[in-house]
Every structure is written in C-alpha cells, then in structure tokens.
Amino acid sequence: MKILTRSRRGLAALAAATIAVTGLSQVNAFAATKITLTEEDYFNTPGQLSGLASYTKQFEAAHPGVTVKRQYVPFANLDTKLLTQATGHDLPNLLAVDNPFVSTMISTGQVVPMSGMKGFSTKGYYPAVINEGLSNGKYYSLPVAGANSIALIYNIAMLKAAHVNPPKTWAQLVSAAKALTTPKRYGIALTCEAAEDTTWQWEPFFWSNGGKGTFANVASAPGVQALSLWKQLVTDGSASKACLNWSQTPAASSQFIAGKAAMMVNGPWNFPTLNLNHMYYGKQFGIVPVPVRVPGQHVVVPLGGEDWMISNSAGSAAQQLAFEYIKGMQTPAQELKLAKAFGYLPGKIAVAKTYLKQVGPEWKVYIDQTLYARPRTLGLGVKYPKISQAVWTAIQAALSGSQSVQAALKTAQSQINTILKS
C-alpha cells in the first residue's frame, strides 16, 4: 500500500516534470476580476427558467459587483457532471442537485455544510424536505423551489371523444390507453430512458402496489405486476416503444402537448409550458392520481425536487455569498413566487398552506399526495442511485424485449441485494 502511494507521488512528479518540459503553463478557464458565482442545474421549462432568472437578477441588483453565471446540463448528465467536477475539485459554487443525489454529493466531501452559516435555519420545513441534506448532524442543503410529485395528466377532449373516463385502476388504464390510441397518436407517453426519471416514473406503480422503498422485493409480485403493466401498454401499442429514448420532460411532455399522446404521468412543473401552449386545466387537460392495481390501494409517489448545495471550491467569502443567494430564496414571498414559477409545492408547511389558497384547482391532486410522498433515499442514502440504475435497466430490458419481465427483475434483484448488503 505504501509502495503504491509512493510510486503514485512519483507519477505525479513525473507529470509535473513533463508539463514543465513541454512548456505548457496551467491556464484556468476563468479569470474573473469581479466576483462571479457559478451555478449549475438542469432546469429547462420556461417557468423554471424565468423564475430562476428573475430571482438572480434581483440578487445581482442587491449585491453590486456580483454576477451569477448559470450553466445548464441536461437532466440525464447532471449527476455524472457533478461527480466529475467533485473529483476535479472543480465544482461550481452553487449546485442544484436532484434530491436523490444529495447524499452522494455529501459523500464526495466537496460540499460544505450550511448548518454553521449565518442565518441558517431549519424551522418550518417539511421534515422530509429538510432532512434530504442531513448527514452526521449537519445540514448540507436547502430546497430550490420546494417539492413536487407526479400524477396522471390527460387530454380532456381526446378522452371525451373516445368515451373513456380518467382511469383509476390499472385495468382501466390499459383499456383507456387502448381506446385512445389511433394511427396518429398513442394512448399514453411513458418515460423509459436510461436515467433516474424512468425509475421515478415507475415508483408510484411499484410502491402503491406494495413495493418496498428499498426495492428489496422488486422481483416479487408488486414489481412483476407493475412492470407487466408497462410492458402491456407497449405490447398493446398504446405506448410508443420510442419511449426508450424519452426523458420525462421535455420528451414525453412534448408528445402530450403536440397531441401525439392522450395521457402522461408527469408533474406540476409542466403547468407553465402547458399554458404557453394554450392548454389549461379543466378545459384542455385534467389530472387524476396515478392509477392503482386494485381499488383501495393507497397511492405512494416519490418526493421530487432539487436542493441547493454549496461547494468548497471557492473561499469562505464566496461560500457565504453563495449561501446568501440560497437564503434569499427561503423567504415566504420568494418561496411563493418561485413555487408558482417552477410549478412546485413550497418546502415550508405554513407557506404551503398559503400557497394552497392562492393557486388553482390543478394543484389539488399534487398537494394531497406530495404531503405524503416518499423520499427516494430514505434508508438508502448513497445506495439509491445505484439501485435506481439497476431498476431502470430492468425496465428497459423488459420493455425493449431483451428479457422477460420476470428475468429482468430477477437480474435487478440480485444486483440490488448486493448493493443493499455492501
């Protein structure tokens, strides 16, 4: 071990020497004179973009000389990018991390706790929301715009024309999707790309049907039944096989907006986009909870949302400034504003109550279920992303036809058992 370490130092020295020989100096990408805070996220709906931009503008106005530079990374790439940057000790100052990935980011040691910072408080937040960033008694994160979850969004006119009611059970979902499918459109747009949003979309089906939060019984009846449902939607032709390339937003959601899918499982962050495309709740689209296998089952949805984290890549002054940026978002007025723009539920209980009074009926389903949503990393922490990969791989395998539903889940189960044991 010692020899290995020493020879590694030798390698580093060799590296430095060769650099010197080739005469290439180290030039960094940035050479800022004023203070620039770098920020990274995967937000891409018009509502999210304008909400974030207007807050940033306000923040910059209140802090002369400070610029916040935003970097967009597509959802499927952000986790990789953040880990790469953490390894290179090169994280942006501010990171908006998808909540199941917060534990992993803490484990890199490249993010700083907010607990000790001036003005930090955990008061008033939903426990599930604030505890996402809790590690060894320290808090590492605060919500970006609150929390969210998913439900079934349907096209009212299409359902009416096909004489079907919004489905409440899986059997109804299958028959409705079939009835809604025409040569020009599919009954439902699924999300099955090789990324977390696929697992997230499937979780309500699995969990509401008795699946465990740790996925320890994914190859048993709850998992097999839930995946068979998706498989059937595809084999019936009610869902496009192209979903293997589709992200939840914007790929699947644009299918719905373009009228190429009559239903989708998706979240409230789509409201601003839907409205921009002249689709309004109650007129063009309606919302019901994700259907359950047998009537009476309780709908369990995963808790969604992003959390701000601060990296240690800059000095403490910049870290404090980054915290100011985050803190400014946690006032009731800002929370309300951002939650509306993003299409999220505010992260504080009292603010959420005010919010319910202000927003329209399209929020009813989401609010009811978000309060009881299940945090994905609960009891799993850094293990969740690996488990999720095993799950979405199984979903892809089954839907693409490379494995049967049972075989795919069996493979996932053995991987998950190994991860859970480690």
> Which CB atom, from 27 or from 294, has the smaller least distance to other proteins?
27
Min dist. Cβ of residue 315 to other proteins (A): 17
Piece of the chain touching other proteins by CB under 8 A; list 263-271, 293-301, 364-372, 386-394: 386-394
Residue 366 CA to chain centroid, in angstroms?
A: 16
Closer residue to other proteins (CB): 86 or 224:
86
Judged by CB under 8 A, the residue of 217, 400, 404, 406 near other proteins is 400
Pull the structure tokens for residue 147. Answer: 């929390």
Instruction: Give yes or no for a contact between 409 and 223, defined as CB atoms under 8 angstroms apart.
Output: yes
Which residues within the stretch 172-211 sit at the binding site for other proteins (CB under 8 A)? 184, 194
Residue number, 174 or 408, with CB nearest to other proteins: 408
Interface of this chain with other proteins, residues 94 to 113, rule: CB under 8 A: 104, 107-109
- How far is the CA of 360 from the CAs of 144, 280, 355, 364, 409, in angstroms? 22, 11, 10, 8, 40
46 scored as a contact of other proteins (CB under 8 A) = no
**102-105: Cβ within 8 A, 24+ apart:** 102/132, 102/133, 102/140, 102/141, 102/307, 102/309, 102/377, 103/135, 103/377, 103/380, 103/381, 103/382, 103/384, 104/79, 104/382, 104/385, 105/140, 105/309
Question: Rule CB under 8 A: is residue 403 a binding residue for other proteins?
Answer: yes
Among the listed ranges 37-45, 128-136, 291-299, 355-363, the one in contact with other proteins (CB under 8 A) is: 37-45
Can residue 410 be called a binding residue for other proteins (CB under 8 A)? no
Give the distance from CA 370 to its chain's centroid. Answer: 14
Decide: helix, strand or coil at residue 281: strand
Least separation in angstroms between residue 23's CB and other proteins is 9
Alpha-carbon distance values, 137 to 66, 120, 133, 325 (Å):
32, 14, 10, 23
Q: Is the dihedral of CA 113, 119, 121, 124 positive or negative?
A: negative
Give residues 221-260 in contact with other proteins (rule: CB under 8 A).
240-242, 244-247, 250-251, 254-255, 258, 260
Residue 73 lies near other proteins (rule: CB under 8 A)? yes
Q: Which of 85, 149, 181, 209 binds other proteins (CB under 8 A)?
A: 85
Interface with other proteins includes 386 (CB under 8 A)? yes
- What are phi and psi for residue 274, nearest 5 degrees? -60, -45
* Contact letters for other proteins, residues 108-147 (x by CB under 8 A): xx--------------------------------------
Indicate which single residue of 45, 201, 396, 413 sits in contact with other proteins (rule: CB under 8 A): 396
Residues 331-350 that bind other proteins (CB under 8 A): none
Least distance in Å: CB of 397 to other proteins? Answer: 4
Mark 260-289 with x for binding to other proteins (rule: CB under 8 A) and - for no binding. x-----------------------------
Neighbouring CB atoms inside 10 A of 84's CB total 12
Number of residues that bind other proteins (CB under 8 A): 76
Told to check if 27 binds other proteins by CB under 8 A, we report: yes
Min. distance of Cβ 39 from other proteins in angstroms?
A: 9
Cα-Cα-Cα-Cα torsion 407, 172, 212, 237, nearest 10 degrees, comes to 30
Token pair recorded at residue 348: 């504080």
Nearer to other proteins, 143 or 272 (CB): 272
Cα–Cα dist 147/75, whole Å:
17
Instruction: Give the footprint of other proteins on residues 355-374 (CB under 8 A).
Output: none
- Structural element, H or E, at residue 188: strand 186-189
Contacting residue, 67, 232, 411, 417, with other proteins by CB under 8 A: 411
Ranges of beta strands (E only) in 131-173 are 134-135, 138-139, 142-143, 151-155
